[in-house]
Amino acid sequence: MAIIVDKVQKRKDIALASKELFVKNSLKDLSVSKIAENAGVSKGSIYDYFTNKEDIVFELLHIMLLEYDKRKEKKLAEVKTTKERVKVFAEFFYSDETEELREIYKDFISINLTTPNEEMTKFQTECVTRYFTWMCEIIQEGIDKGEIIPESINIAKGLFALGEGMFISSNITYTIDNLKKELDQNIDAIFSLIEVKQ
């Protein structure tokens, strides 16, 4: 009897088996042969499930983001103030918990900037839209609770972009020594302007 392979699960298994390689090595330094060897499959099998090594990065990011979002949602529910929730949202860009995810994310951004394809661009657009919507919900809840002024909704997109912009800047320049400190200071300054004064 023929063995039935769950292609979706096999794709995930290969991507997850490759995670450590992608975290510890530059994408350009990895060969499909090395990835196949690490995943315990033949080079030909890699091409049964992926177009190229960039496609593996894409799959890996997708898997890891779904897991991270579940943890972030739980953590957001544990903090009380809107400012603290925004800070939790920004933790992605500097916390030890997300170090591996950030390495994969950097590869994904690099691929998307240098050789974009429709599927990756669509995925990135969906992620940005989801996180922007999530930030808007956090800000709207703060407005509804009377913590911050109603006009705060107009800066939700800016708050969302602040973390990513500073993250990218900290990775390509020497202008940010301590990303957590910089983000916290910026968020504190913004909230000093939008918090409802008691």
Low-confidence winner among 14-23, 76-85, 168-177, 186-195 (lowest mean pLDDT): 168-177
- From the list 26, 24, 23, 21, the residue with the least C-alpha distance to 36 is 21
Q: Say what the pLDDT of residue 2 is.
A: 54
Q: Token digits for 46? A: 């890699």
pLDDT for 174 equals: 82
Q: What is the mean pLDDT of residues 119-126?
A: 90
Q: How far apart are CA 193 and CA 189, in angstroms?
A: 7
The percent of residues in the chain predicted with pLDDT above 90, rounded, is: 70
**Whether pLDDT at 115 is above 70:** yes
Query: Amino acid identity, residue 170?
Result: S
Q: What share of the chain is helix, strand, coil (3-state, %, to 5)?
A: 80, 0, 20
Residue 113 pLDDT: 87
pLDDT in tens, 17-72: 999 999 998 888 889 999 999 888 999 989 999 999 999 999 999 999 999 999 99
What is residue 90's predicted lDDT score, i.e. its pLDDT?
94
Task: Return the pLDDT at 112.
Answer: 87
What does each C-alpha distance from 168 to 17, 133, 176 come to in angstroms?
Answer: 27, 21, 10
* pLDDT for position 5: 61
Mean of the pLDDT values across residues 174-192?
94
Q: 1 pLDDT band (50/70/90 cuts)?
A: low
| Average pLDDT for 120-141 | 93
